Chain A
Amino acid sequence: MAIKSHVQTTINGETVEFLCESRQSLLEVLRDELHLTGAKEGCNNGNCGACSVILDGRLVNSCLVLGVETEGKSVETIEGLAAPDKLHPIQDAFLENAALQCGICTPGFIMSTKALLDSNPNPTEHEIRYWLAGNLCRCTGYDKIVRAVQDAAKASA
């Protein structure tokens, strides 16, 4: 049997400890060990962005990060975005713009959008499209997602 490592990290502001095999990705740890299933597996090789989380302030595909690599780091996931009684403005903007259909890519898009607006609060349409090109959506044709991001930027301004 593989030997598991003990890892201490911060997830959505809370200190979290877990055991994981060295081959387990952060995505596997989030989903299978910690039951934070908001990050989704669409491709498991960094092409679809459905597993996007923010690691020490940087947007990553959690399928391309090993669980053990998060020792001492800080992870933000979709589960940590809303306040108990209030959605994050990005979440509101996605709902108001009908920017989701099946919703499987939505957590990834929202985390990706958060990373964008954290670094560039007032992006142009082209900057939005360029930034979000790492997130695949097969349902919407992206039109309403781009509009939601534009609205979220306005709401946060």
Chain B
Amino acid sequence: MSEKKEYKVIGTRPIRHDGVDKVTGRALYGADFQIAGLLHGRVLRSPHAHARIVSIDTSRAEAYPGVKGIVTAQDLPDPADKVADLGEGAVNLKYLCDNILARDKVLYKGHAVAAVAATSPHIAEEACTLIDVAYEVLPPVLEVRQAMEPDAPLLHENLKTTSLGETADEPSNVASHLQYKKGAPEKGFAEADVVIEREFVTGTVHQGYIEPHNATALYNPDGHLTIWCSTQGAFTVREQVAEILQYPISKIKVVPMEIGGGFGGKISVYIKPVAALLAMKTGKPVKVLMNRTDVFEGTGPTPASYIRVKMGATKAGKVTAAEAYLAFEAGAYPGSPVGPGAMCIFAPYNIENVLIDGYDVVVNKPKTAPYRAPGATNAAFGSETILDELAERLEIDPLEIRLMNGAKEGDRRADGPIYPRIGYIETVEAAKQHPHYAAPNGKKHHGRGVASGFWFNIGLESSVTINVNVDGTINLVEGSTDIGGTRASIAMQAAEVLGIPAESVNPSVVDTNSVGYTAVTGGSRTTYATGYAAYEAAQDVKRQMIARAAKLWEVDEANVQFADGEFSCINGKEEQISFRDLCARLGETGGPVVGSGTVNPGGAGGAFATHVVDVEVDEETGKVEILRYTATQDAGKAIHPSYVEGQIQGGVVQGIGWALNEEYIYDAEGTMTNASFLDYRMPTCLDLPMIDTVIVEVPNPGHPYGVRGVGEVPIIPPPAAIANAIYDAVGIRMTELPMSPERLLKAIGTI
């Protein structure tokens, strides 16, 4: 593949296909769905962080006028203790079911206990207060290090630590321990002239999508179940609901409505099986909506963590060894992203000697869910801060030390894989050459910091069908919910193949009965993998169209050539026909043309980012102001640069929120005390400057246009970059997230 390849559609900035619907309020999101005879569902949630359910009495609620049905865990099939792969890795079914409706124990405040369907949402809410649940309250464990203590209260009596393949005899809150080792870390540290070790703590943070979870379910007497919802993956909803309800997938249709943000948080199901149960029980369509408090308390945030990082380097700046200890809060059930955190922590660097230990630990908080590069942001906060300190101690420029140790093609990551062509060094060079890095930064209380990040990106299955229209346009059918402009980025790849404008593609995101299996919109995979499927489907169309031209001209297919939207005969006859004109002649040459493409590509190229930030620290108030921000990132090939920039900017700002403000604040009983958008403080536009982006393009050899995923990696560097900038401003190393005014004032010594 040539890096200089000229494209007609790719790299341009057309108006997105779903744009008009979304700026006119016409786009229908999950909560907007209406259907005749609709009932409204509401979930009753646990007021306790840890308690045994003694009894549930629904009789008063059932007698309340307007109530049509109530469900509890007794209405769910008793889950076998089996492990199922539901498209996002292996999931223990009992844990999955217990998180939908608690059976024996509630394990966090907000844990769903029962649900009511009624004629109005207000009646359903009132009826919830009439359900009598008797609890035996147990002591909660709310922090990862406390949960690891031998005498800590146990969440699960049967959970035993799996450590490097061995299962322990005694139960514990530590679900698993993993380790990656490369070289001889002790020898590496002995070779170092400077060794730095620090502890880091990060808070629980939420994805903060603006649209709460929603689901409307309809059950027909023939056994067909339909669920309209917003989700990152209609097919994973189908799989999860099928497993939880022990119901055949062939009888479940999931219709993905528009989705109002997800960032990893709308992959796991919560209320979808509940809506289905209520629909089955009442025989009526039932809509269940979460409110904002439900979202904070009852859906998966991303873990708090305790991290220890040790790195050593020679005087010349070569990092000789690195060690990390990562303990992640999984929440109520095992499954934190400590694995990816462990794989990503030193991934931007080629370090000879590495030891990484990771622990997945249950605590009485909501079961955690993925959040944009899950695990990697926590981890990089530690490693990128230590690297900054090494650079400072060795009097080496922080970008220079990254260039000296940066990973390249052929280098091996600590967890095993050998890098193909990657663009890490290019992102550091781009940051170094940016005017931002050369701009003066000497004012009092002003500081500059840098940090880098790595995320794998994933491939997985995608399917696309293309129906050719007689007027030279195509209808593109896909299964990837469009969470940020992917109708455009997928359509553009098909348009490029067929030599037609992006506007000649009508993309549709359809239900699970209407397109081939497609994995979640997640893992930065949609433009890569569903785009790849669109490329293949368009190639299929192209092959069939060549056959039609050959038939028309009565020549062999090998004599037909297609370039720039024109078919021409290359042998003997002087024939030429445009894609558009040939489309008008499909009927006479054999009937409609439908192309299809399915992929499960293994070549998702890893993405790297390097960020530069300037801050001002107010020593009186502890407030950190972001003055300037520049993010460089290897996108492989930017299909629609505006939306690549948008992904980078959005990721950066989520990272800034994580760095400075956002965290779940718990009281001693395990109640989140800030479960609203007022008190869980996400960045507003007043908190920010413009976010400059530099798209570096080192094509991914694993994609026909060189695409790498772009969505996740930009959230990784901000906390460390900002911590490094705060150090530059006031000489204090911040090691706890968020770096809130209170923490900063304490660290400075003002309070």
Contacts and interface: CB of A to CB of B under 8 A. Distances in A.
B24 A91 contact: yes
Contacts of B122: 2, 21, 23
A8 B455 CA distance: 55
A121 interface: no
Count class of interface residues, chain A: 35 or more
B25 A79 contact: yes
Interface in B240-290: 258-263, 289
Contacts of B651: 141
Interface in B209-241: 209-212
Contact of A42 (B207, B677, B691): B677
Nearest to A36: B25
B581 interface: no
B261 A136 contact: no
Given A1-B65, A105-B210, A141 B484 contact: no
Contacts of A47: 676-678
B597 to A, nearest CB: 25
A142 B688 contact: yes
B646 A94 contact: no
Interface string A93-121: 01111101111111100100000000000
Given A79-B24, A110-B23, A43 B677 contact: yes
A78 interface: yes
A82 B21 CA distance: 11
Given A138-B654, A141-B653, A35 B34 contact: yes
A78 B688 CA distance: 26
B292 A42 contact: yes
B479 to A, nearest CB: 18
A132 B685 contact: yes
Tell me whether chain B's interface is mostly helix, strand or loop, or mixed: loop
A40 B649 CA distance: 24
B83 interface: no
Interface string B682-703: 1111101011000000000000
B28 interface: yes
Nearest to A38: B25
A116 to B, nearest CB: 12
A140 B24 contact: no
Interface in A21-47: 21, 23, 31, 35-45, 47
Given A47-B676, A79-B24, A141 B649 contact: yes
A97 B15 CA distance: 9
A100 B22 contact: yes
Contacts of A91: 20, 23-24
Contacts of B211: 40, 42, 102, 104
Contact of B649 (A35, A39, A140): A140
Interface in B470-512: 483-485
B23 A102 contact: no
B208 interface: yes
A40 B29 contact: yes
B421 interface: no
Nearest to B13: A98
Contacts of B484: 101-102, 139
B291 interface: yes
Interface string B629-672: 00000000000101101110111111000000000000000000
Interface residues of B, number: 61
A95 B16 contact: yes
Contacts of B684: 129, 132-136, 142
B27 interface: yes
B26 interface: yes
A43 B27 CA distance: 19
A23 B121 CA distance: 12
Interface in B142-163: none
A141 B643 contact: no
A45 B606 CA distance: 41
Contacts of B653: 140-142
Given A133-B685, A139-B646, A94 B23 contact: yes
Nearest to B653: A141
A50 B32 CA distance: 14
B31 interface: yes
Given A45-B676, A81-B24, A102-B262, 14 more contacts: A36-B25, A37-B25, A41-B212, A82-B24, A98-B645, A102-B259, A104-B29, A105-B210, A107-B23, A132-B685, A142-B688, A144-B646, A145-B685, A146-B685
8 tightest A-B CB contacts, nearest first: A38-B25, A104-B260, A141-B649, A141-B653, A103-B22, A101-B484, A78-B25, A98-B642
30 contacts: A37-B29, A40-B29, A41-B212, A42-B210, A44-B291, A45-B292, A47-B677, A48-B292, A79-B26, A94-B23, A95-B16, A100-B23, A101-B484, A102-B210, A102-B259, A104-B209, A107-B23, A138-B650, A138-B654, A139-B261, A139-B484, A139-B646, A141-B650, A141-B688, A141-B691, A142-B653, A142-B688, A144-B649, A145-B685, A146-B690
Interface of B: 13, 15-16, 18-20, 22-29, 31-32, 34, 65-66, 122, 207-212, 258-263, 289, 291-292, 483-485, 640, 642-643, 645-647, 649-654, 676-678, 682-686, 688, 690-691
Interface of A: 1-2, 21, 23, 31, 35-45, 47-48, 50, 77-79, 81-82, 87, 91, 94-98, 100-107, 110, 128-130, 132-147
